[in-house]
Structure 1
C-alpha cells in the first residue's frame, strides 16, 4: 500500500489551515461507480478541507475494501484521488469437498462476498479459510486442510481456487467421566451418541468424533442426573484431546454430582378456569418421591393439553422449586391460562401438488371455532395418515392486534405419490416373473387413487385397473371401481395343464366409523373359464368333473379397516388392521367364502424414530358351502416370496398336487394361510435421509394348509400342522426413489425341507414389504 501526499503535506503545515477546492477528481476507477466513490470520500466542489479531511477520506476509501493503493495530490485547485482498485473475482472453483455439498459452500461464500464478479478482498479469503477449517474440525476431521490459491487473470481479475482435503474423521478412543461416585462410566455413557471405537462397531459412525454430537451427549448426561434428583449437578469441564497424528480423540468430562433431592410440598396457584381436580390428576408425583425433570416436563405438557382442550391454547405453566438443606425440594406449579383462543384462518404451505381441499377435509379443527389442542393434534394425525407427506407440521400464529385469535399454519413436505412399479425374478415353479404397474395415490392432487398393474410369469398374466375416491361424498363416504382380466396359459410342458381366464369388475363403498376406522361394502361380478390340457393334475380334474368349467359368480364382500399409521411409505409409528369377508352368493354358479385378517404395528425404540420394532401377521381361511364342498383351487392361498416368507420361492410352499403318472408335483396352494413377520428396523450408517432409506433385520414365518385333500393324493395332509411352518431370517434394504420404492431382500431359509424351492436374493421395484 502506498499513499502520497506530496502537495498536501507541503501546503498544509498545520491542522488549523483550511482551503477551498475548485473541484474533486477520482482517477483509476474501473469497477466502482464514481457516484459511490464520491459518496465515500464526502468531498464537494467549493468545500473547505484540511489534512484531517483528507486522512478521513483516505481511511474511508480503504475501509470499503475495494482499493489496494491510494495517492492524493492537488493540481490547479483540483483535489485528485488516484486510486488502484483491487481485482475482481473472475473464476471460482471448489475441489475436494465430499462432506459439505458444493451448493451449500457456494451459498456460504456468496453470503461472505466471495463469488464471481465481486471484488477480491484478502481479509475475506483468510476468514473463509479459517471458517472452513473450523467446520471440519467441529466434525472431527482434524487432519483436514483448506488451501485457497489466488492467481491473476487478464483485465484486473483473479482466479480463486479452494482446494480441500477433508481427511479422515478422528475416532473416539476413550470417554472418561471424572467426579462420578454414584454411577459408573458405563451407566452414564449408555445413551451417548459418542461411543468408543471397538471390535463390535466397525461399520458404525458412533465412534467418529464431532463437536455437535458431544454437546448432545453432555445434555444427555445432565438429563440423566436431573431425572434422578441431582439438582445441584454441575458440569465442571469437558476436554477433547487429539493424538499427534490427529486420528485418535480422548474425551474427559469432569462433573460435580451433588446429592439427590426428594420432593417436599406440592402447591398449585393461578387463576384456573377449570376445576383444580382436573389439574391435580396430571400431577403424578407426590411428597417423598425422587425429583425427576422428565416427569415434571411430562406433567407440564399434560396440564397444558388439559387447558388447551378448553381453548386456553397459550397456557403458561411454570415450576418454582425451593430447595432445603435437608435435600428436599418444594414444587410450586404456577398456571397462567390467558384468554380463550379462536382460529381465524387455516393456511396450508408446501402442498404444491395436493389441493388445499384434500388437506382441509381432514381437519377436525375448523376456522372460527374455539382452538383446542386435541383437535389440532387430531388434524395433524389425520393428514399424516393420508400417506402423501413425509413431514407434517402445525403451528399457531397470533393475529396482530388481538389477544384471542390465531391463524393455524399447516406446513407439509410432499413425497412422491406416484410410482412405476416393476419386479423381476425367477423361480423353479413359475420361471421368469415380470411385473409392471403405474400407480398414483394422489391423482391430480385430488387425493384419489388411480392404478394399473400387470404381472406375467411363464404361466399367468394379470391385469388390473382401479380407481378409488375416498371422499365420494363430503361426509367421507368412499367409492371405488376396478376391472380385471387374468389369463393362466398352461401347456403340457408346465407343472399344471389347464388354461384359466377370468374377467370381471367390482364396485365398493366405504363408510367412516371413526377417525381411524372404515367399513366398506362391495360386489364383484366375475366370469371364469377353464380349459384342461392333456395332463392336468388330479385336483383340477376332480373339481371340473364336479362343478363344470365355466362359472359366472357374484361375490359380495365386506371389509373393516382400522389404520393409524404415520410416516407415509415408510411408517414410523402406529398400526393398521384389515378384516375382509368375501362370499360367492348363490346367485352365481359357485358357493364359497373367504375370510382374511391382516395386521401390523410399529413400536419406537428411540425418540428419533430411527430404531423401530415391527410385527406383521396375516391369516386367511376359505371354504365352500351349499352345493360347493371346497374352495375352488384357483382361489387358494399361496405362501413363499416377498409378501409372506422371504427366502422361499414365490408361491412354492404348502400342499402339492398329484398325478397318476410320474409327473413331478408342484404347490397347489391351500384354503388356510398363516404368515407373520418380526422386524427390527435400524438406520444405515453414513446415510442422512432416513425418511427415504430403511434397513432392517427380519424373521418370517408361515405356510399354507388345506382341510380338503383329493382322495388319491397320498402326500396331502388335512388340517394345520404347526411343525410345517417355515422360517427364514434375512436383511432388507428399501429406498424410496423418485420413481418407486426399491427393495432388496437377502434371506436364508432356516428349516427348508426336501422339495422346497428357496431364493436367497430377491429384488423388487415398487414394493415396500
Structure 2
C-alpha cells in the first residue's frame, strides 16, 4: 500500500506542472515532493531574457524546494507584470518554468485630440504605466479610459468619449490606438454667490477666471468650466473679503452641478461674511538682523487701518526681500495675527526667522547651445563666492532678457546638499534664433517690393557680437550696409563698432520732395555704460553727400539753398553724443520700465554746412494688470545751423525775343536796373529735415506727408518739405496675444503730433491725430507690422492711408 501511494505521488510530480491559478489558490499544492534543484530552465521566453527571470525568482540551484516555495516563486514572477501565465513542473532534478509573456507596446497613437496635446496625454498615460516599449496588460485599458476622461473633465469637457483599440503584431507586440471624441466644453450658465450682503455679485466676480458667456469668451474662454480655475477663483473670493477686513469670512460650501445634456454648468458658493476688523497694532520680533526701526518702515499697515491680508503679505515679502538682498536666501517672516473678537481688532506680530546667511557656490547655465557661457556670465550681477543677493539675481535675469537671445529664462537657487549656507544658481534658458538671412522678401506700401540680401546676426558665433550685411534695392533706395559691434570691447562693458554705408536715394519716391542723393559714410561707434541703466554713446564719422535737384520738379526753397551754396556736394565731419536710460524688462515687447534717449548730432567746423540736430525719445510701459500694458511715448526733434547764413544774388534773365536761340538777356526793374534773384542758405539743411506720418510714426497718414507743404504755382501739384522741429506722441494699450510669445503684440493706439518749419511755427492747433489697432510680429523674415487706423484730427489736403502694412527686413 505504501509503495502504491509513493508511485501515485511520483506520477503527479512528473505530470504537466501546476498552473498559476492553481499555485495561487488557497488549497494546498498536491503532488510536489520536496527535492533539491540541480538546474533551472525557463521555456516560452521571447523578449525577456532568462537572466531577468532568474533575478526575480527566489529559487537558486542547490535549493531544496517544496510546494510552498513553488507557490512563492509563481507569485514573485506574476508581480513583475511580464507574464500572462506561469506554470512550474519538475523533470527529474530540473525545475522547469513555463511562461506566456505579455505583449510589448509597439506604438501608441492618439486620434481626434485637439484641446489637449498628444504630449500631455501620453505623459498622463505614462504615469499609469502605459508607454511605448512597456509591457501591455489588457486590464489597463479601463484605467486608460478613466485617466483620459479625467484629464478632459478637468478641462470642462464632459461629453468626451474614449475608444481604445488593440492590434496584435508579430513577435508578441501590439499597437494601441486611442480614438478621442472630445465633444463640446461645458459652458458656465450661472454663478451664484449666496450669503453676500455687503458686496454685489458683480464686485465679487470681477477678476475671476471663470465667468458666464460674454462677448470676449471666444478669446478668453472664461465661460468654460475647469476645476483648477474654480479652485483659484474660490481662493480669490476668500482673498477679496480678507483684504477688506472680514477676518471671520468663510466659504461654507460649494456646489457644481451639470445640466442633463452635460453642456451647461451651474456654480454656487455659500459664504458667511462676518464683521470688519481693524488693526490695533503691529510689531516685529525674532532675529531681525537689521535694526527693527529700519524694518518697521516696510510695514504697510498701521494702527487703525482696516485689516488686509494683501498688505500683510506685501509687508512680509518686503522684509524677506531686504534680508535676501544681504545673503539670507531662506529667510522666513510669519505674520501672526492676535484676534480680539470682542473689540473686532487684530494685532499683528511679524516674526522673523532669517536662517543662515548664504553665499553662492556655483552659477550653472543650461540650454545655451549656441551662446557661450562668457556672454551670459558678463551680464550677471550675482557672482560666485559672494553673498547671495536676490536683487542681483533679479537684475541679472532682466539683463539676460534684454539681450534678445533667449525666448525664456528661469533661475533656480537649489541648496547645496549637505550644506546649510551654500546655494547654486542654475540658469535655464531656451534660445531663440538671433540671426536671420533674408533674400528677396519684403513689401511695404511706401517702398513697394523690397529686393534685398540681408544677413543679420545679433549673436555672431555665440560671442554676443553683432554683425550685419545688407544689399537692398527698391523703387526709392539702393543701399549697401556693413556694421559690426562688440558690446564688450573692454571688460568694463565699453562697446566699439563700425558702420560702412552707401546709399542712393530717390526722395521723391518716398513722399519727400523731388531730389536725389548719393551718400557714403564711415562711422566709429562707442558706448560707455555709466550705471546699470545709463549709457553714453559717441559716434565719429565722415560722410559725403551729393544732392541732385530737378528744376521744375524740386521745390524752389531747396533749389535756392543749393544755389546759395554754389555746390551740390556736401562733405561733413560728424559726431553724435547721446545719453540713454533703459530700464525696460525685455528686448522685444517689454511690459514695464522706461526708455529715454537724448542725442545731439553735430557737423564739426570745416564741414560744408555747419549744423546740429537734437533728438529726445521717451517711452514708458505701465503694467495695468497681469495682461494689459499701457505704453506712453513721445519724440521731439530740432535742428538748426550754427554757422553764418550764406546769401548770394543772381541776375534774372529771360529769352531774347528777337533771337530765341541766342543768349538770355537780363530782366530790368522799373528803374531800368537788372532784376536780382537773392537766395539764402540758412538753418537746417533741407536734406536733414524731420518728417512724420506712416507705419512707424503718426499712423493713418501716408509716410512723410505731414508738415509744411510746397505748392507749385499754377498747379495742384504739391510736395512735403519736412521741417526742423518735430513733435509726436503715442498712447498705446497692449493686449495679451493668443500666441505665448514676446515677439507678437496686439494693441490699440492713439497717435498725435506734427512737423513744423521751425519752433516759431509751432502750433498745437496744427497737430494731427489718429486712432486704431495694430499687430506687430518679430517674424524670422523680419518685422511684420499691420495698422488699421482712422484720423481723428485732420485737415483738407492730408494724405490718408487707413490700412498700412509692411513686412520683411527694413533698414
Largest Rg, 1 or 2? 2
Please list, as runs of the form range in 1=range in 2, the aligned pairs for 1:716-735 lying within 5 A after superposition. Answer: 719-735=761-777
Corresponding residue of 1:412: 429
Shift of 1:116: 4.2
Deviation at 1:8, TM superposition (A): 9.2
Residues 1:364 and 2:374 are matched in the alignment: no
In structure 1, the partner of 2:748 is: 697
After the TM superposition, which residues 564-603 of structure 1 pair with which residues of structure 2 at under 5 Å, given as runs? 564-603=583-622
Whether 2:194 is the aligned partner of 1:178: answer yes
* More moved, 617-626 vs 102-111: 102-111
1:540 aligns with 2:540: no
| 8 Å CA contact retained: 1:390, 1:567 | no
Query: Structure 2 CA distance, aligned partners of 1:566 and 1:635?
Result: 33
CA distances 1:333-381 after superposition (whole Å, capped 9, x unpaired): 2222334333333333333322222232233333333333433333333
Distance in 1 (alpha carbons) for counterparts of 2:774 and 2:148: 38
State which drifts further: 595-604 or 402-411.
402-411
How far apart, in 2, do the equivalents of 1:14 and 1:441 lie?
77
Aligned length: 751
For residues 667-746 of structure 1, the aligned pairs below 5 Å read: 667-684=720-737, 687-707=738-758, 719-746=761-788
- Where do residues 622-637 of structure 1 align in structure 2 (5 Å cutoff)? 622-628=639-645, 629-637=682-690
- Report the alpha carbon displacement of residue 72 of structure 1 after superposing the two structures with TM: 4.6
Deviation at 1:597, TM superposition (A): 0.9
Which of 318, 323, 330 aligns to 1:314? It is 330
SS at match of 1:582: strand
Name the counterpart of 1:243. Answer: 259
499-508 or 115-124: bigger deviation: 115-124
Deviations 1:33-90 (A, max 9, x none): 2233344443445644444333333333333333333445555565544433333334
Corresponding residue SS for 2:632: strand
Which residue of the partner structure matches residue 379 of structure 1?
A: 396
Determine if the alignment matches structure 1 residue 664 to structure 2 residue 717. Answer: yes
1:256 aligns with 2:272: yes
Deviations 1:611-635 (A, max 9, x none): 1111111111112232341221111
Task: Go from structure 1 to structure 2 and tell me whether the alpha carbon gap of 1:36 and 1:323 turns closer, same or farther (over 3 Å shift).
Answer: same
Q: Is the 8 A contact 2:257 2:265 kept in 1?
A: yes
Unpaired stretches in structure 1, ≥5 consecutive residues: 709-717
- Name whichever of 295-304 and 404-413 sits farther off: 404-413
Who is 1:556 aligned against? 575
Q: Could you tell me how far 1:574 is from its partner in structure 2?
A: 0.6
Q: CA deviation at 1:7?
A: 11
> Structure 2: how far apart are the matches of 1:671 and 1:13?
107
- How far apart, CA to CA, are the structure 1 residues paired with 2:472 and 2:110? 48
| Counterpart-to-counterpart distance in 1, 2:267 and 2:722 | 61
Q: What SS does structure 2 have at the residue aligned with 1:221?
A: helix
Distance 1:300 1:496 in 2: 63
| Distance in 2 separating the partners of 1:473 and 1:316 | 41
| 1:648 corresponds to which of 698, 701, 718 | 701
**SS of alignment partner, residue 463 of structure 1:** strand
**Residues 495 and 664, structure 1, Cα contact 8 Å, conserved in 2:** no
In structure 2, list runs of 5 or more residues that go unmatched.
Answer: 1-16, 646-681
Select between 330-339 and 66-75 the one with higher mean Cα deviation: 66-75
Matched position secondary structure for 1:439: strand
- Whole-Å Cα distance in 2 between the matches of residues 290 and 442 of structure 1? 53
Task: Answer with 238-247 or 361-370: which moved more.
Answer: 361-370
> Do 1:434 and 1:456's aligned partners in 2 also have CA atoms closer than 8 Å?
yes
CA distance in 1, matches of 2:449, 2:393: 50
Note the 1:148-227 alignment, pairs <5 A.
148-199=164-215, 201-227=217-243
**SS in structure 2 at match of 1:461:** strand
Q: What SS is found at the alignment partner of 2:143?
A: helix
Q: Deviations over 1:467-495 (max 9, x none)?
A: 22222222222222212112124799998
Kept after mapping to 2: 8 A contact 1:8/1:73? no
Q: 2:130 aligns with which of 114, 117, 121?
A: 114
* Residue in structure 2 matched with residue 620 of structure 1 by the alignment: 637
Is contact 2:23-2:29 (8 Å) kept?
Answer: no
CA distance in 2, matches of 1:741, 1:519: 27
SS at match of 1:552: strand
TM-score, length of structure 2 as denominator length: 0.85
Distance 1:61 1:341, change over 3 A: closer
TM-score under structure 1 normalisation?
Answer: 0.90
After superposition, what is the alpha-carbon deviation per residue over 1:709-763, rounded to whole angstroms, capped at 9, x for unaligned? xxxxxxxxx7123333222222222334345443322223334444333333333
Structure 1 match to 2:108: 92
| CA deviations over 1:356-408 (Å, ceiling 9, x no partner) | 22232233333333333433333333333333334444443434444444333
The residue number in structure 2 matching 1:713 is none
Report the alpha carbon displacement of residue 456 of structure 1 after superposing the two structures with TM: 4.2
RMSD: 3.2
Distance in 1, Cα, partners of 2:109 & 2:715: 74
**Counterpart-to-counterpart distance in 1, 2:526 and 2:766:** 39
- Residue 102 of structure 1 aligns with which residue? 118
Give, in whole Å, the separation in 1 of the partners of 2:694 and 2:21: 92
- 1:354 corresponds in structure 2 to 371
